[in-house]
Chains A and B, each alone.
Chain A
Amino acid sequence: GNSVTQMEGPVTLSEEAFLTINCTYTATGYPSLFWYVQYPGEGLQLLLKATKADDKGSNKGFEATYRKETTSFHLEKGSVQVSDSAVYFCALSEGGDYKLSFGAGTTVTVRA
């Protein structure tokens, strides 16, 4: 079956530091890959997505590239802000299926 593995947190950074959150996946076919973000006290919202190999998703300064050869979709941001403090979830869906398989989530705290 499908599964997603994320690096464990929590991650604590200073403002303007570089952020990387590793995500690898297992799927039987060609999944779509997503990063969702959950800000404190809120529901999840889509941060970025990629639907085929070598696609790069980007939003709000975050980027992730769909790497089929390494089955990875690592999230990066070059200079984080305090407002980026949140829980980040990597997820996938496969085929015509809307069901999302989520990683465990990574809590990121950015200090001023």
Chain B
Amino acid sequence: NAGVTQTPKFQVLKTGQSMTLQCAQDMNHEYMSWYRQDPGMGLRLIHYSVGAGITDQGEVPNGYNVSRSTTEDFPLRLLSAAPSQTSVYFCASSTPGLARQETQYFGPGTRLLVL
């Protein structure tokens, strides 16, 4: 199993540009989520999905869009990039097999710089 994969590893954008961060998992996990990591603030939840066709907002959803057409993929779209979106983005997945006791599996991250 590859686990959770993310592409690209690093991206530079200009203000106003749009892009999609890709996330895929091969563990047949129903739950997937996106976090952003900023210095001194830990990880904050952007959006999450409990299954294909179902998404919901997390703590900091503004400026981001998601969709979940398959179990495997959960892309994150930046509609119009802003310098405040400079961050490291992590995708995670989990299974509801043991509900809240389950471990979440994180991808390696995408480092985004918005100029």
Contacts and interface: CB of A to CB of B under 8 A. Distances in A.
Interface stretch (B60-68, B71-79, B98-106): B98-106
Interface string B25-64: 0000001010100001111110010100000001000000
A45 B94 CA distance: 13
Nearest to B93: A98
Interface stretch (A11-19, A60-68, A71-79, A100-108): A100-108
Contacts of A84: none
A69 interface: no
Contacts of A4: 42
Given A42-B108, A45-B106, A46-B104, A96 B99 contact: yes
Q: How large is the interface on A (under 10, 10 to 19, 20 to 34, 35 or more residues)?
A: 20 to 34
A46 B93 CA distance: 12
B103 A46 contact: yes
Interface residues of B, number: 27
Contacts of B40: 104
A98 B101 contact: no
Contacts of A100: 35, 43, 45, 92, 104
Given A43-B108, A98-B104, A99-B58, A89 B43 contact: yes
Given A4-B42, A51-B100, A98-B100, 4 more contacts: A42-B109, A43-B4, A43-B107, A99-B33
19 contacts: A34-B103, A42-B108, A43-B4, A43-B90, A44-B90, A46-B104, A49-B103, A51-B101, A89-B42, A93-B100, A97-B100, A98-B31, A98-B48, A98-B102, A98-B104, A99-B48, A99-B58, A100-B43, A100-B92
Interface of A: 4, 6, 31-32, 34, 36, 42-46, 49, 51, 89, 93-100, 102-105
The 9 closest A-B pairs by CB, nearest first: A102-B42, A43-B106, A44-B106, A102-B43, A43-B108, A104-B42, A46-B103, A98-B31, A51-B101
